[in-house]
Amino acid sequence: MTSVDYSLYLVTDSTMIPESSTFLKQVEDAINNGATLIQLREKKLSTLEFIERANKVHELTKKKGIPLIINDRIDVALAIDAEGVHVGQDDMPASIARKLLGPNKILGVTCSNEKEAKVVVDEGIADYVGLGTVYKTNTKKDVKDPEGTGPIGIRRMLQVLSQYQKKNGKKIYSVAIGGINHSNASKVLYQCSLPDYSLDGLAVVSCIMANENAAKATSDLAELIKSKPEWLKNISTSSSEAKLENKIKTLIETKPLVHHITNNVVKNFSANVTLAIGASPIMSELAKEYEEFASAIPSLALLVNLGTPSNDLMDIFKHAIRVYNKYGKHIVFDPVACGASKERLESSRQLLNTGQISVIKGNVGEISSIWKLTSTYQKPSGDEKSLMQGVDSIAELSEEQIVQIGREVSIDFKVVVVITGVTNYVIEGLDSLQKVKGGHPLMGYITGTGCSLGSTIAAFVAAKADGTSKPTVNIFDAAVGAVELYNIAGFKAGEVSKTPGTFMTNFIDQLYSCTHI
Ligand SMILES: Cc1ncc(COP(=O)(O)OP(=O)(O)O)c(N)n1
Ligand SMILES: Cc1ncsc1CCOP(=O)(O)O
């Protein structure tokens, strides 16, 4: 078989065709407008009907030189001499399918988790895997994870494929499937990738098959797959050259708005910190107004703080992340106490799966918990958790280990990581690390000093939008600036305070003085 283009894989469904069209027209429009691979997926047809339909679709695909894959039915694939077959975990085992098909047909297998991906690579006989579901979908109800495995789950499976390729020099191609459409396709491709391993394409059903204009739906999707969206291009390039005073100047000039969805304990303090540094706070849990904010306010960032979570708040967080992503606005995530319970870590997983975050800020414990969600945490090669080898608690982690954990979180989630503590670490990827010392022990006696650093980072990352709707911020730089300012103010406040109450007042004063005077 010559090389296959997996980039836009249409999986058909004859139950969702718009009244104005027909099944064959939808498929033909897709074939003529950028679909690179077609899978005929029929659940209710008799064998005869299936063969007749497959022949008709095959006529269309052959004209364009596009391979036709048959879902589940190896007999139908053989009957019409289709180019391949796709089997799921409950279908005919891949090994038997391969025997029946011979070595030259394309064989695809569904994988929903790492375990299934490991079986596929151990067998080594599939040409490609369909990974998913990524997100919730109405098209297929009998899926393992109805909410979707999200980019986190997809990355873990990619890690298995990547290790396989490194070890065997053989590639098993991969597409993601489930809930993918025009609004999230770019994000799926961006988020479902490792530094050295990416998806080969996206598989979709409803966003083409159910579309009134399948031709446009296909060409638009093909375009999205080819190009990187603006908001992601600018997301970050590291260089910590800019001076703090310049960053503060920009902050004051821009007067950014920080939308806090934060915990009840710290709202007042965080609002005062935000005002003191020259930005404006807004506290809103009214999801319906977010679109209005994000579409209209240029210098705006969102702070998502998990401090006092609830089911309602989770829905609000998710909506906010989607809206802020849609308008290319930065999001700072503070996974407060995410290691305290399974539910909190699960909440963090869901939020990180919902969209692209720009900065994750937390103490060593919180970032170590987030690290457990990364694809590097469980390397299939057997060196699981080697980073924590011999370490009983996070208190024993060396600086090198802390930084490594930060780097792995940064790489996996494509975020800047801020790890707070006596020494603060701002980390991006393998190359960027800035240590920031300062602060004062009295900071530990004031509720909200941790959370309000999140407000400060959000203000700095929003600060350079400069009246345009595009983020032009170097996030790493902005985070470093925020952490520096915060710790300088903390240190100075500590010098003139003996007790927490006066420290709190002095800290707000110092934040103001450092930025305004
Ligand atoms: C590309 C691709 N990936 C996954 C699937 C799902 O296949 P399966 O698990 O066999 O479920 P059904 O499609 O049979 O409902 C797929 N079809 N294509
Ligand atoms: C066939 C299949 N396998 C996993 S999800 C899915 C359906 C995906 O459909 P949609 O693209 O409409 O979400």
Domains of the chain and CATH, by start: 8-228 (3.20.20.70), 244-373+395-516 (3.40.1190.20)
> 132: Cβ below 6 Å to ligand 2?
yes
Asked if 49 and 77 count as a contact pair (C-beta separation under 8 A), the reply is: no
Rg (CA), the chain: 25
Asked if 133 and 145 count as a contact pair (C-beta separation under 8 A), the reply is: yes
Q: How many other CB atoms sit within 10 Å of the CB of residue 346?
A: 13
**What one-letter code names the amino acid at 302?**
L
Q: How many other CB atoms sit within 10 Å of the CB of residue 494?
A: 19
| CA-CA-CA-CA torsion sign (496, 497, 502, 506) | positive
Q: How many other CB atoms sit within 10 Å of the CB of residue 1?
A: 11
Distance 345 CA to ligand 1 centre (A): 30
Look-up: residue for tokens 């506290």?
283
Asked if 37 and 66 count as a contact pair (C-beta separation under 8 A), the reply is: yes
Asked if 207 and 217 count as a contact pair (C-beta separation under 8 A), the reply is: yes
The pTM for the full model equals: 0.93
Enumerate the β-bridge partners of residue 58: none
pLDDT of residue 517: 84
Query: Alpha helices, DSSP H only, in 129-213?
Result: 150-168, 185-191, 206-209
Name the closest ligand to CA 182.
Answer: 2
Pocket of ligand 1, candidates 43, 72, 110: which has the most ligand atoms within 8 Å of its Cβ, to mutate? 110
Strand order in the sheet with 432-436: 280-283, 257-261, 300-305, 330-334, 359-363, 416-420, 424-428, 432-436
Please report the atom of ligand 2 found closest to the CA of residue 206: 12
pLDDT of residue 470: 46
Asked if 80 and 51 count as a contact pair (C-beta separation under 8 A), the reply is: yes
Cα gap 376→103, rounded to integer Å: 33
> 130: Cβ below 6 Å to ligand 1?
yes
Look-up: residue for tokens 């894989």?
9
The verdict on whether 514 is a catalytic residue reads no
pLDDT of residue 185: 96
Distance 142 CA to ligand 1 centre (A): 10
Distance 71 CA to ligand 1 centre (A): 7
> Element (H or E) spanning 77, and its range?
helix 74-80
pLDDT of residue 467: 47
Pocket of ligand 1, candidates 40, 69, 86: which has the most ligand atoms within 8 Å of its Cβ, to mutate? 86
Asked if 451 and 262 count as a contact pair (C-beta separation under 8 A), the reply is: yes
Cα gap 23→194, rounded to integer Å: 37
Residue by residue, pLDDT tens for the chain (517 residues) are 569 999 999 999 999 999 999 999 999 999 999 999 999 999 999 999 999 999 999 999 999 999 999 999 999 999 999 999 999 999 999 999 999 999 999 999 999 999 999 999 999 999 999 999 999 999 999 998 899 999 999 999 999 999 999 999 999 999 999 999 999 999 999 999 999 999 999 999 999 999 999 999 999 999 999 986 555 544 444 445 568 998 898 899 989 999 999 999 999 999 999 999 999 999 999 999 999 999 999 999 999 999 999 999 999 999 999 999 999 999 999 999 999 999 999 999 999 999 999 999 999 999 999 999 999 886 545 554 566 666 667 778 999 999 999 999 999 999 999 999 999 999 999 999 999 999 999 999 999 999 999 999 999 999 864 544 444 458 999 999 999 999 999 999 999 999 999 999 999 999 999 999 8
| Bridging pattern class, strands 37-40 and 8-11 | parallel
Cα gap 468→433, rounded to integer Å: 29
Query: Alpha helices, DSSP H only, in 266-398?
Result: 267-276, 290-296, 311-326, 342-354, 364-371
Name the closest ligand to CA 111.
Answer: 1
Atom 2, ligand 1: residue with shortest CA distance:
130
Cα gap 332→233, rounded to integer Å: 18
Decide: residue 228, CB within 10 A, 0-12 exposed, 13-18 middle, 19+ buried.
Answer: exposed
Distance 111 CA to ligand 1 centre (A): 9
> 175: Cβ below 6 Å to ligand 2?
no
Pocket of ligand 2, candidates 8, 9, 10, 11: which has the most ligand atoms within 8 Å of its Cβ, to mutate? 11
Please report how many Cα atoms fall inside a 13 Å half-sphere around the Cα of residue 508, on the Cβ side. Answer: 16
Distance 139 CA to ligand 2 centre (A): 5
| Bridging pattern class, strands 197-198 and 257-261 | unpaired
Enumerate the β-bridge partners of residue 421: none
Q: Structure tokens of 395?
A: 């208190």
Q: How many other CB atoms sit within 10 Å of the CB of residue 395?
A: 8
Distance 137 CA to ligand 1 centre (A): 13
Residue 433 CA to its chain's centroid (Å): 22
Pocket of ligand 2, candidates 138, 177, 207, 218: which has the most ligand atoms within 8 Å of its Cβ, to mutate? 177
Atom 5, ligand 2: residue with shortest CA distance:
178
SS3 at position 476: helix
pLDDT of residue 394: 78
Tens-place pLDDT, residues 378-428: 654 555 456 666 666 777 899 999 999 999 999 999 999 999 999 999 999
pLDDT of residue 387: 66
| CA-CA-CA-CA torsion sign (302, 303, 306, 312) | negative
> 361: Cβ below 6 Å to ligand 1?
no
Decide: residue 326, CB within 10 A, 0-12 exposed, 13-18 middle, 19+ buried.
Answer: middle
3-state helix, strand, coil in the chain (%, to 5): 50, 15, 35
Residue 364 CA to its chain's centroid (Å): 22
Cα gap 437→431, rounded to integer Å: 20
> 133: Cβ below 6 Å to ligand 2?
yes
Q: CA geometry: angle at 227 spanning 319 and 409, to 5°?
A: 55
Name the closest ligand to CA 179.
Answer: 2
Please report the atom of ligand 2 found closest to the CA of residue 135: 13
Phi/psi at 14 (5° precision): -85, 0
Asked if 254 and 465 count as a contact pair (C-beta separation under 8 A), the reply is: yes
